[in-house]
Structure 1
């Protein structure tokens, strides 16, 4: 794993973008509208004062005379920085993705992740939950140290799977490779018992993860036939959840199939990711137990579209992508109408990083009001993460603020026009410089 640190550490002195410039002690934002994430309403013109990375004060209205250094956002709506609860920053889908796994080194993926992280931040996402990838904990540290530009990262590290499951890293290997490498175990994130489950969580703790991710069912893009079969017993998931709780972790469960979702919810996971074949019983259980749903509509639509292209996916993957991907938006619509708690997530890395905000548009297309969609990426996302210092623009909270021109509640497509991004009081994008300002 030390090899992953090398490109991230070396990048800082080599890149002009990575040079750290401390934010000013205080900044004033003049917002034409302020989105109140608690109420889901626009609160009118506001002045937001930022000091030492935190929101110091809010005042209704905008002064007639601007103070020196104030940021003019009078034609914009200011919102809390968005959170994407499901990304994979180390990679991005392409027809070469499967062969690259045999040709590229970990440092290659680490270097790629730097650009993906910056694109995500400049798109308005000041926080992400990276649900599976050994690069993410190291990228998180590099961002926190000011070496590269990126969102705040809550990293799962290696996803936990069963043998042959969606996150078994040896799926698709030939018999010679499998024999040479031997079967993966809990250290590699593959379990087959309750004891294995405990060990796998403890290994993630040892490696510095922030959250635990399991693959409770088959998946679309793994080199395996089933995209929805259950892949853990209830007792195995419960062992993951109970051990995770000992370390203060929450557990996210990738799940497409009904039975796998049911087992994960009964075992106490925090969130269900994707949820394609969610039925009425699973909806009832999720509402009863307060389980969150992170839909990832973008990923579903992306893989369904790419499944129409000859050669984009391997033959074993293509039918899964066509069948499962096309259903997620309809599942989301039913879950929202039924009252399931929803957080914002895209599974970006499947689609192109930086396009995350398109998920808002798909959510609104499926029947969710724009204000509720924005809440899913702000105050609700903070609840999923279990943090209380972000997701709202209030005094004392982190100064994570994004702005778009016009009124996104009237036209959700405005989310694709982010031209102001502040994270922890540092401005990374502003209307007059198109992202060139700020640091690190």
Structure 2
């Protein structure tokens, strides 16, 4: 009996060790492809071998050994890139129901629209997004459902309702006064914006969004004029930062951009009328600009189909072409750029069309790709999690057929998507 006991004592650790090794192997996936983009230097690695365990990358390169027993996904001649990141989305809205039509949607219905758009977005190759403005905290619900595995979609930072002044771009200006309808994020004055910032964080906001200027798709305001005062902006930013949230400011131009930068925001959204002084300030403060440019093509071409009110269309026809001229100068001046689309103004899933616009405005394809990878991950505060194919980062990757460094429109035709080690779009 003693001999048997001794034998069992010796065998059991070996069995446990073998079982552990087998479990690790069965949780290991290896992705192979003809090439892999190092987004930091803009060069291809030939061939590509990425070893994944559970949801993280454990090794990546050209001379990486394939562990015994690992599941191998061979993408053949495809090009492998990190999952893309869109820093300006509105997943719970569509062009036809984003406030232009007379149909009012319930918040549960809006959240379900978000579930549809989350799938479209991740299947388009965008494995992480920052969602910046949704009524009824529908974006918070969507983020939490994705995190729980109930819904297929990208990783999300979500703002809940965007803060804005009464009658401003982030208010509801499309209803008659007798309805007494105001946006959820409306707050006026220093005390009120402090309370509202705390309130949206209370209900789940992981980033704060506010409107520093007027906008295009709102009645009665001018995108070139500021809305919140500098003191109000400073209060929002200081309170958000104190509570561990970054801040995005919708700002098209005028003093709105400059005041938002001086208040300490982390990003300026749109920046349509950014001038030389604003560009200089953004460079000094290392504030990211998130231009949203492709929407100008789609919105004007489809204005009639989505019943865009004439006053808004007239603004769009002036502001959106002007934006490209000013953004081109900001790019040339070296303002840090992070990728954004404002999807919802045009259909979700077309996010990749933004890259070609950035290239037309002076970026190289490699620089444009960096805006949606390393730059975007830094703005999210997730540079240790996403943005490149590197050890210890999430296994968020995409594959395309061609070479996006030669033809950036390849990123409009993503053929395969993995998020967290799970394939969400099989190879086509």
Fold shared per TM-score above 0.5: yes
Residue-by-residue CA offset, 1:52-109 (whole Å, 9 max, x unaligned)? 1000112315889997631112311111110000000011112884235x52111111
Aligned mates of 2:420, 2:33 — CA distance in 1: 18
Aligned mates of 1:65, 1:318 — CA distance in 2: 57
Contact map agreement 1:304 1:325 (CA 8 A) in 2: no
Q: 2:203 aligns with which of 204, 207, 216?
A: 207
Aligned match of 1:99: 101
Aligned mates of 1:225, 1:211 — CA distance in 2: 25
Aligned mates of 1:190, 1:49 — CA distance in 2: 48
Q: 2:213 aligns with which of 202, 213, 217?
A: 217
State the shift of 1:386 in Å: 1.1
Aligned mates of 1:147, 1:70 — CA distance in 2: 27
Aligned match of 2:144: 141
Contact map agreement 1:296 1:328 (CA 8 A) in 2: no
Contact map agreement 2:400 2:413 (CA 8 A) in 1: yes
More displaced 10-residue stretch of structure 1: 245-254 or 314-323: 314-323
Aligned match of 1:368: 363
Contact map agreement 1:122 1:429 (CA 8 A) in 2: yes
1:303-382 aligned within 5 A: 303-307=299-303, 309=304, 312-382=307-377
**Closer, same or farther in 2 for the Cα pair 1:221/1:369, shift >3 Å?**
same
Q: 1:413 aligns with which of 409, 413, 416?
A: 409
Contact map agreement 1:302 1:325 (CA 8 A) in 2: no
Aligned mates of 1:145, 1:95 — CA distance in 2: 27
Contact map agreement 2:100 2:307 (CA 8 A) in 1: no
Contact map agreement 1:256 1:277 (CA 8 A) in 2: yes
Aligned mates of 2:426, 2:314 — CA distance in 1: 43
Aligned match of 2:127: 126
Aligned match of 1:244: 240
* Higher alpha-carbon Rg: 2
Residue-by-residue CA offset, 1:255-310 (whole Å, 9 max, x unaligned)? 11221111111111100111011000000110111110000112233334345x48
Aligned match of 1:115: 116
Aligned mates of 2:388, 2:290 — CA distance in 1: 20
Tell me, yes or no, if structure 1 residue 162 matches structure 2 residue 169: no
Tell me, yes or no, if structure 1 residue 430 matches structure 2 residue 426: yes
Contact map agreement 1:30 1:62 (CA 8 A) in 2: no
Contact map agreement 2:98 2:344 (CA 8 A) in 1: no
Aligned mates of 1:24, 1:330 — CA distance in 2: 53
State the shift of 1:311 in Å: 7.6
Tell me, yes or no, if structure 1 residue 84 matches structure 2 residue 79: no
Count of residue pairs brought into register by the alignment: 401
**Closer, same or farther in 2 for the Cα pair 1:219/1:398, shift >3 Å?**
same
Which structure 1 residue ranges, 4+ long, deviate > 6 Å from structure 2? 62-68
State the shift of 1:192 in Å: 1.4
Q: 1:44 aligns with which of 39, 42, 46?
A: 46
Aligned mates of 1:284, 1:199 — CA distance in 2: 32
Tell me the secondary structure at the aligned position of residue 114 of structure 1. helix
Aligned mates of 2:125, 2:154 — CA distance in 1: 9
1:183-332 aligned within 5 A: 188-307=184-303, 309=304, 312-332=307-327
Contact map agreement 1:224 1:316 (CA 8 A) in 2: no
Q: What are structure 1's unaligned runs of at least 5 residues?
A: 1-22, 435-440
Aligned mates of 2:253, 2:158 — CA distance in 1: 25
Aligned mates of 2:300, 2:163 — CA distance in 1: 26
More displaced 10-residue stretch of structure 1: 235-244 or 309-318: 309-318
Contact map agreement 1:31 1:62 (CA 8 A) in 2: no
Residue-by-residue CA offset, 1:166-201 (whole Å, 9 max, x unaligned)? 0113x12212112xx5x66xxx21121111111111
Tell me the secondary structure at the aligned position of residue 78 of structure 2. strand
Aligned mates of 1:207, 1:125 — CA distance in 2: 26
Contact map agreement 2:50 2:57 (CA 8 A) in 1: yes
More displaced 10-residue stretch of structure 1: 309-318 or 328-337: 309-318
